[in-house]
């Protein structure tokens, strides 16, 4: 008999990946589609929800039409997606405008009106700060890249949309709405609205005081369920578009960061994983609720029942490599009238192997779109420092890889302080983990063994499938690590330790010396 399977959907910023995955974690097929990102002056970043759905159904039908397993063996659909976005919808579930996504900072100027107070600590009213941290673990970001700021932006600048909105939905929960017709959020996806009391991990609920001080109306927010709960079955319309049966179950699902934490296989407390895609993060599950305001990270509800994980994110990581390829080396203009080769990143990897560790002391700071952790600063910008006449393109490529790794080392110091112990090793997932040279650079810069997860691009869809399998009683959490194979382990090269220690210190000095300048230039 064919295995029971889950159709897993991962909506990233560049587009969705849809995969057919067995309840044991084997990826039978996967397809990707691209979606458009609309950037605008003042920090605007939007995407079209109908474009999301088009891309998802297109990719899904390429899988289901192949009939790899009978339709009745596809027992559930599970969604993971980009986090901290806002989709205003009407009572029929129709999006009223483009989605405001996690990169959008236009609402930052309105956050102080709900976060401030008579006595302020780091920009927050002292009493409000205490309430948020005690109950949620975190606070609305002053950088404005979260739903609180998005909704305030709509209230102030698009009041007609605000008033017409029946619910404000996270991207993942909007997709579940398209699948089932249910206006629901999961207790992990809603966390970055900072209006739920998370002190009791088994009883997460909206808190009246937090709603009042954040000024978010409860009636415009969806009801709550768990990531592992079955929330319904496919509507006839969504079943037809996906090529599935109408009785196919839909599980609550989880945003990208907690999905990756599960899909990496690092599900035990204090087992770390590193993700490098468009953005990056370094996190692990923890058995306690804690907040580190100085590094902008906190324990947040996990997709796994009764568990927390450390919430953090660095804004641009793999995006720096894409920028280097598309805007510097392969720009379609009079100097280079051609498209980037499909194997550009593989060529990058070959080039960096000819450059010594440290890139002859060329340093890249990867803050192309500001930073979120370990500092929340939307005004930081990227730079190459210490360029000389000997600097080549190969030096620049390696410096970008190393710069992202320095940024991760900066974050790792905060995370290891948070958990009170060093990581014994890190599982590496995301597109960055496909590069062997980058795996070695991370091992050398971080000084930790790096386990390159096999098929690292499938970590998110695999994580969504695992969450569904756990919720359906098909898999135990303890079984997950054995279902995630390791391709190769990279050990730190001790011969590179001195140069990377020196350049990491210089990296921190660049931030310290230029932070005020970036604020003056970009505020």
Q: Which residue's entry shows tokens 């303890």?
A: 478
* Low-confidence stretches of the chain (pLDDT beneath 50): none
Angle at 497 between CA 493 and CA 499, to 5 degrees: 125
Proportion of the chain in helix, strand, coil states, percent, rounded to 5? 40, 25, 35
Is residue 283, in this structure, part of any structural domain at all?
no
Supply the pLDDT for residue 334: 67
If asked whether residues 231 and 370 sit together in one domain, one would say: no
CA distance 60 to 73: 15
Supply the pLDDT for residue 330: 78
If asked whether residues 344 and 251 sit together in one domain, one would say: no
Handedness of CA 201, 205, 206, 210 (dihedral sign): negative
pLDDT, one tens digit per residue, over 440-454 is 999 999 999 999 999
Instruction: DSSP for 378-393, please give it.
Output: TT---EEES--TT--H
pLDDT, one tens digit per residue, over 414-447 is 999 999 999 999 999 999 999 999 999 999 999 9
Is residue 338, in this structure, part of any structural domain at all?
yes
Is residue 285, in this structure, part of any structural domain at all?
no
If asked whether residues 260 and 325 sit together in one domain, one would say: no
Q: What CATH number does residue 367 fall under? A: 3.30.420.40
Supply the pLDDT for residue 378: 87
Task: Quote the domain boundaries for residue 380.
Answer: 318-457+485-522
If asked whether residues 255 and 322 sit together in one domain, one would say: no
Supply the pLDDT for residue 121: 80
Is residue 191, in this structure, part of any structural domain at all?
yes
Q: Are residues 154 and 167 in contact, defined by beta-carbon separation less than 8 angstroms?
A: no
CA distance 460 to 19: 10
> Domain tally for the chain?
2
If asked whether residues 135 and 266 sit together in one domain, one would say: yes
């Amino acid at each position: 008999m064919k295995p029971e399977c889950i159709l897993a959907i991962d909506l990233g910023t560049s587009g969705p990946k849809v995969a057919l995955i067995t309840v044991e974690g084997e990826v039978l097929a996967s397809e990707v589609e691209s979606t458009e990102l609309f950037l605008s002056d003042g920090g605007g970043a939007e995407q079209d929800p109908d474009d999301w759905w088009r891309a998802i159904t297109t990719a899904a039908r390429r899988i289901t039409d192949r009939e790899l397993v009978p339709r009745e063996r596809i027992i559930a659909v599970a969604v993971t997606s980009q986090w901290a976005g806002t989709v205003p919808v009407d009572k029929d579930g129709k999006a009223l405008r483009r989605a405001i996504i996690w990169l959008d900072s236009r609402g930052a100027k309105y956050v102080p009106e709900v976060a401030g107070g008579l006595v302020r600590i780091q920009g927050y009213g002292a009493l409000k700060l205490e309430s948020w941290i005690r109950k949620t673990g975190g606070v609305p970001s002053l950088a404005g890249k979260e739903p609180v700021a998005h909704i305030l932006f709509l209230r102030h600048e698009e009041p007609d949309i605000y008033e017409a909105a029946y619910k404000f939905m996270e991207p993942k929960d909007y997709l579940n709405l398209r699948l089932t017709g249910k206006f629901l959020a999961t207790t992990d996806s809603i966390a970055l609205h900072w209006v739920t009391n998370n002190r009791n991990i088994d009883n997460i609920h909206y808190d009246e005081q937090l709603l009042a001080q954040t000024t978010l109306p409860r009636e415009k927010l969806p009801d709550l369920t768990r990531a592992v709960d079955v929330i319904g079955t496919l509507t006839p319309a969504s079943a037809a578009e996906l090529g599935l049966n109408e009785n196919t179950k839909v599980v609550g699902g989880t945003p990208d960061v907690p999905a990756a934490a599960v899909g990496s296989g690092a599900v035990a407390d204090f087992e770390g994983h590193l993700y490098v895609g468009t953005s990056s993060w370094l996190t692990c599950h923890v058995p306690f609720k804690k907040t580190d305001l100085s590094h902008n990270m906190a324990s947040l509800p996990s997709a796994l029942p009764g568990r927390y994980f450390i919430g953090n994110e660095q804004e641009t990581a793999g995006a720096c490599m894409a920028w280097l390829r598309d805007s510097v080396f392969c720009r379609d203009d009079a100097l280079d009238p051609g498209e980037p080769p499909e194997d550009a990143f593989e060529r990058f990897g070959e080039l960096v192997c000819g450059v010594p560790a440290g890139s002859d002391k060329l340093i890249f700071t990867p803050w192309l779109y500001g930073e979120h952790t370990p500092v929340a600063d939307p005004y930081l910008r990227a730079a190459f420092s210490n360029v000389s006449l000997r600097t080549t393109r190969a030096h620049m490529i390696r410096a970008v890889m190393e710069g992202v790794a320095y940024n991760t080392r900066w974050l790792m110091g905060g995370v290891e302080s948070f958990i009170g112990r060093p990581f014994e090793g890190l599982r590496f997932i995301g597109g960055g983990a496909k590069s062997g040279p980058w795996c070695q650079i991370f091992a050398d810069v971080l000084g930790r063994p790096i386990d390159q997860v096999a098929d690292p691009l499938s970590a998110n869809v695999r994580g969504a499938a695992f969450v569904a399998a756990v919720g359906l009683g098909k898999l135990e959490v303890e079984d997950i690590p054995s279902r995630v194979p390791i391709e190769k382990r990279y050990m730190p090269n001790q011969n590179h330790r001195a140069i990377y220690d020196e350049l990491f210190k210089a990296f921190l000095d660049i931030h310290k010396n230029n932070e005020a300048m970036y604020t003056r230039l970009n505020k």
